[in-house]
Every structure is written in structure tokens, then in C-alpha cells.
A and B are shown apart, each in its own frame.
Chain A
Amino acid sequence: MTENLVEARGLTKTFGSFTAVDSIDFDIRKGEAFGFLGPNGAGKTSTMRMITTVSPITDGKLTVFGMDPTTEGRDIRRRIGVVPQEDNLDLELTVAENLYVYGRYHDMPRATIRERIDELLEFAQLTDRRKNTVESLSGGMKRRLTIARALINDPDLVILDEPTTGLDPQARHLLWERLYRLKRQGVTLIITTHYMDEAEQLCDRLVVMDQGKIAAEGSPSELINRYSTREVLELRFAEGEQDEAVLRLDGLADSSEVLADRVLLYTNDAESTQRGLHERGVHPEQVLVRRSTLEDVFLKLTGRRLID
């Protein structure tokens, strides 16, 4: 039997009359990388904050390591590492001191912390920056330092709220690689993101969240199989021709989505769909054939795009 590190039933968070998290259920298993994929305002951060015990739950049931965040918050926090959405590094301290004080907050002996700092700086590729101020770091370095800081207490569960938002592709790939490494070491990861490629790359299982609710749950490939087709044709038309062309696409593919700048045709056989286009005399300026992604799943589930 797999052990659940986090269990939520009817988990709800309201701010005044506004419901940010609306009665959601999920289980996070030991050793997996679990994702929360959703657009801005979906309620991802609110959910993370409840799991990290810093935000009291409004209603429902939540356990972390089988403990109750309301009464056993401190014991839960001993065993987790948190990478918040907004950097909260201590700007008055150096790189190494940022790690050091967190070790102390976790009651670790000084000698142990010093050893751990060396390892973690290595892991975060910040060894030559140990005496620098935090302000002098690039965005990617700050993020890596925040992750290193979250690992100081050797946590069983690491919660990462949009770990790569705002980073350039190179910095993102470096971070992903570090996160894989953690996963291989058996650390359970919870990752929120609004990048579908990140969710596909990193997550074993994920939930798609929208407006405080969970719209779907599964592994990336399961979700794609269940909610989308194998392939997608992206059609771009010359200025002003899209509306007219859309009328002639009826029944050509399994389903379609009309966006402001292009039309998506969902199909399991891109070639025959393309032939169909030809036969009907539809001539887009550009046709792109690609695999379905979680972006398509999201579009299908909510009728909206993930990132506007």
C-alpha cells in the first residue's frame, strides 16, 4: 500500500466572502512529484499555504504526515521545506548566512549546519557566492538559494510554489535538473506551476485547478489521453479570414477551439485532417502539427487558455 503524505477532503479556504479554494480533494503519495497546474488566481498558493500550516484552513479536512496542521503545525513544519512563490530571502544576510539561520530555526546543531551548508551550496551551484549578499544574485540564483534553504532540515516533503516563474529557459532547465535529483533521492515534491511543460516534465501526477476547484486529476499522459487527442493542428489565417474559414471546418476534426489568433483542430490523424482541409478549400497561412499538451487539456476543461 502506498502511503499518503498529504490528504485533503473538502478542503476550503475563504477570504471574507471570497472562496479561494472550494472544497477540493486530493492525496499526495510518498515519493512522487505532485503538481498543481492552474492559471492566476486558481487557488494554488492558498492551497500550498494551508499545507505548510501557515494559513488556517476554513473548512474540510487536511492531514500532512497524518498530522493536523491546526494543532500539530510545528511538528509538520519540522519535516517540510518550503519554496514560496515570492522570494523571501533575508536581504540583511549573506548567501551562507541565509542557510545558517534556517538551520538554527530548525534547531539544528551548528556543526551539522555548517556541513550541510557546504553540500547545499554545491547542490545549488552557489559555492563561490557563499559570502555574497543576496541582492547581488540573479533571479535564478535566488531561486536556487531558496530551494537550498528549503532543504537545510533534510525534509521529507518539499513544497515549491512556482519555482521557475520569471526565469529564463536556461535557468529553468538547471532548476528542473536539480528537482529531478531530489526526486531520485526519494523526496516527495509538491509543485505548483502555470507552465504546462513544467508540469509535464516534473510531475508524476497532477491536478488541474481552476477558480478554486479541481477540474481533473491524473498523470500528464493520462490527462492528455482522456481529455485531448493525440495530435493538434494549429491553423493561422491571414488577417480577417479566420471567421469565414471556421465555418468550413465543421466536422473535420474530433473537436476544435477557436482562439483569437488561431484555430486548433484536435485529431488522432493529422495527415487525413490536413487532406480534409485541402479538399474543403481551406488555405491557412500557416499549419503547425504538434502533440497534445496539458495546455490543450486545460483549454478543453475550462474553455480558456492557461496563460493569457
Chain B
Amino acid sequence: MSVSAPTRITPVGKMSDFRAQRIWERNLLVYRRIWKVIFTGFFEPVFYLLSIGIGIGALVGDLTLPGGHIVSYTAFMAPALMATSAMNGAVMETTFNIFFKLRFGNVYQGMLTTPLQPRDIAIGEIGWALFRGSLYTGVFLLVMWVMGLVESWWALMTIPGAVLIGFAFGSVGLAACTFMRSWQDFDLVSLATMPLFLFSATFFPIDVYPPAIQVLVQFSPLYHGVELLRSLTLGIFDPSILGHIAYLVVMGLIGATIASRRLDGLLRK
């Protein structure tokens, strides 16, 4: 017969309780040595941008957006690539890297014998994924600006925008990571992110899809990320931007809550 464990009281709040920054300090030490790994992450989205900007962009020419604005295809596509790279960066960091730390080497187990708590680990690792992601976004933005794809000063806001996307996907990635059992499960990660990349109004405006599919696309979290960044780089705003932000915030909070509970269960048997 099993006796139920007494419920654990995890005090919430107090800023002095906040220790997630300790995880960043540790990660900074690690990455200081392997900064080249971070560096390679810059290139993939930039290559995409160049190939699309120079190749496809020239073929397609200009697009007329639902609101009547006319923009070059490359300017339309670039923020979508930026959002996708924010998504991929956060998901990779919180799945591959953290899976390793979670299942091998017991690094987290050790941390929990110090004043750190599972929640600190969850917040710390998600935060780290965001930090890393925002570095990529910054460089990507710079390349966009050099290519003349930035239409508005609002574009600077894509950095916090990409952080928000990273938060949403990083949290869910971390939550998913706690359910993974083997490296094979990572195929499922690509299985989830690939269609998101292809079908989130990344390559064409959403009104190209039939209405039924449009509804489906609106469920895609990446769609909201893409639309958010697109408004910012093009400088075209309407109230729907609030909806995109809310969607991503809620997704991130739910993911972070599940992740921190799951970590607790996995690490404190």
C-alpha cells in the first residue's frame, strides 16, 4: 500500500528567493569556452534570408498585404525567418541541451542539494534560452537592416518580440523535454517544428489559405510570433497584435508551470 506524500509547500514570490540567475552564471562559464557553438547558430537563418532575398524574392517581386500595403517579398519573409529562428533556438536549447543534463551526469540533482529549487532551474534554463535567442535575433536584425528590409524603428522591438517567442517555445520545449525518454523522441520535436515553419503564414499571407485552413493556422503559435514580428519590422499595426502577444504569454506561462512541476517530480523522488 502506498502512503501519499505530504504536500510540499513551495513559497512563491519574494525577490530574495529568486535564484534563477545562478543557472545563467553557470551557463555563462560553460559557454565562455564554447562560444563557437553559439556562433554557428547565427548563420542558418541568415543563409535562408540571403537565399530567399536574392533568389525567390526576385522572382516573386512585391506583395499586396490584406491591409493594402505593398511590400517586397523579402521584407515580408524576413520577420518570419526571424520568428522561426527564435522558435528553433529556444526549442533546441531546452530540449537537446537540457535533456542531456537531465538524464546524464546528474548536474541538476547536485544543484538541488544547495539552496536552489526545481523552479530556479526551470526559470533559469528558459531564461538562458531567451538570452541566447535574443543574441541571434540582434544579428539577424542587423543583416536585415543592411539589406534594406527594415521599414520602421519599431523593428528594434523585434528583440523583445523574439524573446517572447523564445519564452513561449522554450517553456513548452522544456515541459516536453521532461517527458522524453530517449534520443529518438527528438524526431518528434522536428515533427512538430517543421510543419509550424511551413504552415504559419511564413511564406505567404494568411488570406491565401482557404478559410477553414486559416482557422487552423491561427492555432499555430508560430503564426502569432510571425505576425508579431512582421508588424514590427513593417511598421504596420492593428489591434490583433495584442492577441498575438497574449497567445504567446499564456503559452509560455503554461509551459513554464508544467516544466517546473515536472522537474520537481523527476528530480525529487
Contact = CB atoms under 8 A, between A and B. Distances in A.
A and B together in one complex: yes
Contacts, number: 83
Across the A-B interface, give the 9 residue pairs with the lowest CB-CB distance, nearest first: A88-B106, A105-B114, A82-B113, A88-B110, A92-B30, A56-B5, A101-B26, A74-B115, A59-B3
A107 B2 contact: no
A286 B269 CA distance: 49
A86 interface: yes
Interface in B161-180: none
19 contacts: A14-B3, A16-B2, A54-B112, A54-B268, A56-B5, A58-B2, A77-B113, A77-B115, A78-B115, A80-B113, A84-B106, A86-B106, A88-B109, A89-B110, A90-B26, A92-B30, A93-B26, A101-B29, A102-B114
Contact of A57 (B5, B29, B106, B107): B5
Contacts of A58: 2-3, 5
Given A54-B267, A74-B115, A17 B1 contact: yes
Given A70-B6, A71-B9, A74-B115, A104 B109 contact: no
Given A70-B6, A82-B110, 14 more contacts: A52-B113, A54-B112, A57-B5, A58-B3, A59-B3, A82-B113, A84-B106, A87-B106, A88-B107, A91-B107, A105-B22, A105-B115, A106-B115, A153-B114
Contacts of B1: 17
A47 to B, nearest CB: 14
B5 A91 contact: no
A12 interface: yes
A112 to B, nearest CB: 15
Contact of B6 (A55, A56, A104, A105): A56
A200 to B, nearest CB: 28
Given A56-B8, A70-B8, A84-B106, A104 B25 contact: yes
Most buried by A among B6, B25, B109, B115: B115
A183 B26 CA distance: 31
Nearest to A100: B29
A73 to B, nearest CB: 8
B110 A90 contact: yes
B3 A104 contact: no
A17 B2 contact: yes
Interface in B54-68: none
Contact of B115 (A56, A84, A93, A107): A107
Nearest to B7: A70
Interface residues of B, number: 28
Interface string A181-198: 000000000000000000
B211 interface: no
Nearest to A101: B26
Contacts of B116: 105
Contact of B111 (A15, A16, A55, A105): A105
Contacts of A14: 2-3
Interface string B14-57: 00000100100110011000000000000000000000000000
Given A57-B5, A70-B8, A106 B114 contact: yes
A93 B29 contact: yes
Interface string A56-98: 1111000000000011001001101010101111111100010
Contacts of A97: 29
A57 B19 CA distance: 25
Given A14-B3, A106-B115, A93 B106 contact: no
Contacts of A78: 115
A77 B268 CA distance: 14
B88 interface: no
A12 B3 CA distance: 10
